A and B are shown apart, each in its own frame.
Chain A
């Protein structure tokens, strides 16, 4: 496979030929009759899974099946926040692994994913918020994760646009701050993993929807798709909002519910916000993209929904929260809004697990916070699929926990998670 390596030099070289000679970032092959591993779902997590399977495990032929275009689900719809300051050890270790992968991802993939470590600030507005912040930050530090606690004055110094007045309805009493957190360019993550996986021989097959999961003697043997039957020794499902739909194909019932999650951006502005701000009590989060747009999100719509759209009242509440925190944004204008489908687990933690069907694996339930986990999720899921055993980092995130009761309740840390 001929591949351009991306660099300023290749860019200059190609400029001479007016960029006529760039090779495809990934091929568009027809599906083969069978694969050793089929990854169902061409979002960031699925592509990362395929990449790490190809790069770090010896599993034979791999295909990624995507019903639409790669990165078109939540990968391309989220607010791109990356952080690892989770409360419980299990979650903290998983997200920290992911954060460490982020830190070298552009180089590893030879694709600039624009991981921008501009810091993530989680605001506290009540005394209980501040207790929770101390608890989480203290735990983060002992887990080797960077975390600071900021006073309102320190917050104001970093974020002059924010209202930290004690007269506010829910005054800002303090914040936790993770300097290594930040944002990344969401599309680039999907494309970078796709390009790197393709370079290692993974077939990325778009417009190919899985419509059935074939089993024999309790083990998986292939998938039915809109492009025909494709054989497989192992099937790794990582389809976010549609997890229940695919689980149903294997007659499994899952503890997830799919909800609309909305986000919006403002018109582009000159730099006015240098870090990522998240608030649970005043329910919203905001950062400013490199293009200058304020990227804003909040919580899910309460009802089950596969429509990739939610209710306007959520947007209204979300925008009010942002204007409450940032009164200077009142005259700024909202450009565009959209929605995705998130599958939510009862404990706000994902499922990365084997299933009762041999050779069938599920990675789902990331709720509103999956983007940050993209590389880490792919990394542990690849291990789980290749070894038929979870990695120590995802052992706690199995389906069993809903039977034993060993939930990892991250509601406090995830909150309006994203």
Chain B
């Protein structure tokens, strides 16, 4: 049972949130210029990292805002939370 720190509301139980999968996947600017392979990579392929994973969560039962979480997918430890458009503090990125 995860506890996640919403950047706007504070620490809340996982059940208040919706998971959104891998973060920082940018929708291609001009999809029609992509090959089928490139489009498939955007559409379906995922890093699926074992270890540190950047992912999206939405505080659906609270402020309804989306944000990003760095989480270890093995220990489930939440390493950082940050708002859309931000980068995690202290991360190498």
Contact = CB atoms under 8 A, between A and B. Distances in A.
Q: Is chain B in direct contact with chain A in the complex (CB below 8 A)?
A: yes
Nearest to B39: A403
B27 interface: no
B74 A307 contact: yes
A255 B73 contact: no
B1 interface: yes
A308 to B, nearest CB: 9
Given A242-B50, A302-B18, A402-B44, A307 B76 contact: yes
A245 B40 contact: no
Contacts of A304: 21-22, 48-49, 53, 55, 73
B2 interface: yes
Nearest to B18: A302
Nearest to A256: B48
Contacts, number: 65
A311 B36 contact: no
Nearest to B13: A313
A75 interface: no
Place the interface of chain A in its size category.
20 to 34
Contacts of A404: 36
Contact of A256 (B18, B37, B46): B46
A255 B37 contact: no
A253 B45 contact: yes
Contacts of A256: 46, 48
Contacts of A255: 40, 44-46
Contacts of B74: 306-307
Interface in A152-200: none
Interface in B17-31: 18-19, 21-22
Nearest to B45: A253
Given A303-B19, A313-B15, 15 more contacts: A244-B47, A244-B49, A244-B50, A245-B50, A255-B46, A257-B48, A258-B50, A303-B71, A304-B55, A304-B73, A306-B50, A306-B74, A307-B74, A402-B40, A403-B40
25 contacts: A244-B46, A244-B47, A244-B48, A244-B49, A253-B41, A253-B45, A253-B46, A253-B47, A254-B48, A255-B40, A255-B45, A257-B48, A258-B48, A302-B18, A304-B22, A304-B48, A304-B53, A305-B73, A306-B73, A306-B74, A307-B75, A307-B76, A313-B14, A313-B15, A403-B40
Q: Which 7 A-B pairs have the closest CB atoms?
A: A255-B44, A244-B48, A302-B19, A253-B45, A403-B40, A303-B19, A402-B44
